[in-house]
Copies of this chain bind each other. A is one copy, B any other.
């Protein structure tokens, strides 16, 4: 493979998502080189590269996404395949994943050739479908010609445009090819010309945020100030009721309050978080402190009151929305995979803006749990919703909202979203700032970040999250002092150790980082040891769904119990014995190589069957006459509990699953 557009040389500058300008207000900036070379995520990325991304093209063909663009280009006949207005975005997200994948040095030559061909085919088709003034949206071109930008609440035109821009940026950054970028710029130029508060312009915002973050990226990629200004304009105009009222209320699309005034996350979770990612990007390039404050405030509200243990977001099925504070039902958790991805995007941006470790903590938790559960181990199936509990006797209702993974969805937003994040994951590991290089995720690979005086290059080797030893070698170091900051996760507590060239490092963790400041020579070997004893976790008592329950965790992984490991028991009848020790055990089997957590519990006898499941809490049935007696459990039969990583649930025969276990 000698394609000059494909950067296989490790030294080549190959930026990922978020490429801040020199004047950006970020305290930490993405690594300038990054390559994952092994370990946990290399395996997941191989599945993405070899199964998900190639399969995505087939699914898009089968679902008719390409057909509808062909209709818009006048190259096909017949009815449009889809009725959802945002189907173009599935293609765009897949193209973004293709862009990042083409920057993956581990991509096989033949596979790269196939992806480049499909990229070229798609680019040519999109260019053909694009109207002379730049408009491009197959749904409106085919189904609603003449209604462009007239259905902003539900039309998703700017949302789709944003995903096109992101795809074009990814392709351009990875390959240098600018064909798709030209298409995207023409769309963006039309958006800039159309929207605004000037005479003849449309003073409106899109029902689904996304264009904001995309336009900032396009500004970064092109230097065109108008894109940044337009992104800021959309942020400023949102929250004034421009979208009108709808059945879910103005909160649904965050149009109830300007973001600078909002105190709480509200409404559709993905909309809220995509908006905030855009707000963070506008802050990054404008330095407007009120925007950063808004992001920090809303992130904190979200995490403290409306985030599941898995990092999953969104309690409501009906409107895919945040619930009330502490409304976090486990069995009816929505936790859309896209919302987890959006949460990762936001946390990463806030980490770069502030340097605060908690953002990296949530990013890690979400990556390993709420996000990763969205993809089956074999890469063939995806989940839309990610509950923390599936009951014995669950009857699948069908449709996108049912737990369990399927090859594709009618509303297929999640699968290509999974692909684009996995394909760009190497950029979410190391950051560089004025005097600090921050290693915030522990992923085997080679990473280079800019720091005052030059570039620091690190090699990370670890079997994390299965093993707690993280080896870091400083390969190249600029002259002069700088600080290497290693994140100490909140869950790690106090059992963390760090050596530099075999000697205990001075100081210790503070505010989530272990900072080692010195003049680095290059060649230093660091060993960070994180304690991976399995642990029990309780929820805030206001989380009603988890009252009387504990969860099992180990390192960044949330665990769950599944029916598959407990034949003969109903999980609804199992109690955890919290006083008995937990034990971690490596297992090679039907879930591949994982570490399971063993615990002790009991399977309580099912209560006497009565017709009415409520009754006196008194311990003797006699007090209730014919009534039921409830709330008292017998010790029951002892049962050895085997907990598996949450991300691996649902890969065997359908059955029950629980993250939160009632305690005996």
Chain A interface residues (CB < 8 Å from chain B): 245, 247-252, 264, 266-267, 300, 303-305, 307, 309, 315-319, 321, 323-327, 329-332, 358, 361-362, 389, 391-402, 410, 490-491, 493-494, 511-512, 535-545, 547-551, 572-573, 578, 604, 607, 609-617, 623-628, 630-631, 633, 662
Report the separation of the CA atoms of residues A613 and B331 in the bound assembly, to the nearest whole angstrom.
19
Contact A332–B330 (Cβ < 8 Å): no
Do A323 and B332 touch (CB < 8 A)?
yes
- Tell me if A393 and B614 are in contact (CB < 8 A): no
Name A658's closest neighbour in chain B (CB-CB).
Answer: B544
| Residues of the B chain whose Cβ atoms lie less than 8 Å from the Cβ of A549 | 544, 547
A391 lies within 8 A of B324 (CB):
yes
User: Given A327-B391, A332-B332, does the pair A631, B321 have CB atoms closer than 8 Å?
Assistant: no
Give the residue name and chain of the B residue nearest to A256 (CB): B395
Q: Which residue of B lies closest to A494 (CB)?
A: B625
- The reply to whether A542 and B578 form a contact with Cβ atoms under 8 Å apart is no
Contact of A538 among B538, B578, B614 (CB under 8 A): B614
Q: A303-B612, A662-B547 are in contact. Are A541 and B627 (CB under 8 A)?
A: no
7 more A-B residue pairs beyond the given contacts A247-B410, A323-B332, with a C-beta to C-beta distance below 8 A = A251-B398, A316-B332, A326-B391, A361-B612, A493-B624, A537-B617, A537-B630
Closest to A558 in B: B614
CA distance A280 to B417 in the complex (A): 49
Cross-chain contact A617 with B397 (CB below 8 angstroms): no
User: A535 contacts which chain B residues (CB < 8 A)?
Assistant: 616
A538–B319 CA distance with the chains assembled, in angstroms: 32
Contact partners of A615 in chain B: CB under 8 A: 537-538
Q: Are B329 and A329 in contact (CB under 8 A)?
A: yes
Would B578 and A397 count as touching, CB distance under 8 A? no
Do B572 and A616 touch across chains, with their CB atoms under 8 A apart?
no
- Distance A110 CA – B547 CA, assembled complex (angstroms): 56
Smallest CB separation, A205 vs chain B (Å): 19
Q: Which residues of B contact A536 (CB under 8 A)?
A: 616-617
Shortest CB–CB separation between residue A650 and chain B, in angstroms? 15
The chain B residue with its CB closest to the CB of A390 is B324
- 29 residue pairs of the A-B complex, CB under 8 angstroms, read A247-B398, A249-B398, A249-B399, A300-B611, A303-B612, A304-B609, A304-B611, A304-B613, A317-B318, A319-B397, A324-B393, A324-B394, A325-B572, A327-B391, A362-B612, A490-B612, A490-B626, A490-B627, A493-B623, A494-B625, A511-B626, A512-B626, A535-B616, A536-B616, A537-B616, A537-B617, A538-B614, A545-B545, A578-B617
- Residues from chain B with a CB closer than 8 A to the CB of A318 are 317-318, 401
B540 and A607 contact, CB distance less than 8 A: yes
Q: A613 near B540 (CB under 8 angstroms)?
A: yes
Question: Are B264 and A395 interface neighbours, CB within 8 A?
Answer: yes
Pairs A-B, 4 closest by C-beta atoms? A538-B631, A249-B398, A538-B617, A540-B613
Q: How far is the CB of A158 from chain B (nearest CB, A)?
A: 23
Report which residue of A394, A395, A549 has the largest number of chain B beta carbons within 10 angstroms of its beta carbon.
Answer: A395
Interface of A is mostly: loop
- A487, chain B: closest CB distance, angstroms: 13
- A247-B399, A309-B614, A393-B324 given as contacts; is B490 within 8 A of A540 (CB)? no
| Residue ID in chain B nearest A542 by CB atoms | B572
Residues on B with C-beta less than 8 A from A545 are: 329, 544-545
Cross-chain contact of A325 among B391, B400, B490, B578 (Cβ < 8 A): B391
Question: Do B548 and A547 touch across chains, with their CB atoms under 8 A apart?
Answer: yes
User: Cα distance A451–B163 when bound, in Å?
Assistant: 74
- In angstroms, Cα B333 to Cα A327, docked, is 12
| A490 contacts across to B, CB distance below 8 A | 612, 626-627
Contact A662 B541 (CB under 8 A): yes
Q: Give Cα A547–Cα B628 distance, bound, in whole angstroms.
A: 16
What is the bound-complex CA distance between A633 and B410, given in angstroms? 46
Task: Give the residues in chain B near A612, CB-CB below 8 Å.
Answer: 303-304, 358, 361-362, 490
In the complex, chain B residues whose CB is within 8 Å of the CB of A537? 614-617, 630
Residue numbers in B under 8 Å from A358 (CB-CB): 611-612
Docked Cα-Cα span, A142 to B410, in Å, equals 31
Contacts of A326 in B (CB 8 A): 391, 572, 613
Contact (Cβ within 8 A) A541 B327: no
Residue of B nearest to A539 (CB): B614
- Given the interface pairs A248-B398, A627-B490, the reply to whether A393 lies near B544 with Cβ below 8 Å is no
**A331 to B544, Cβ gap below 8 A?**
yes
CB distance from A265 to the nearest CB of B (A): 10
Q: How many Å from the CB of A5 to the closest CB on chain B?
A: 42
Set B303, B304, B315, B631: member contacting A332, Cβ < 8 A = B315
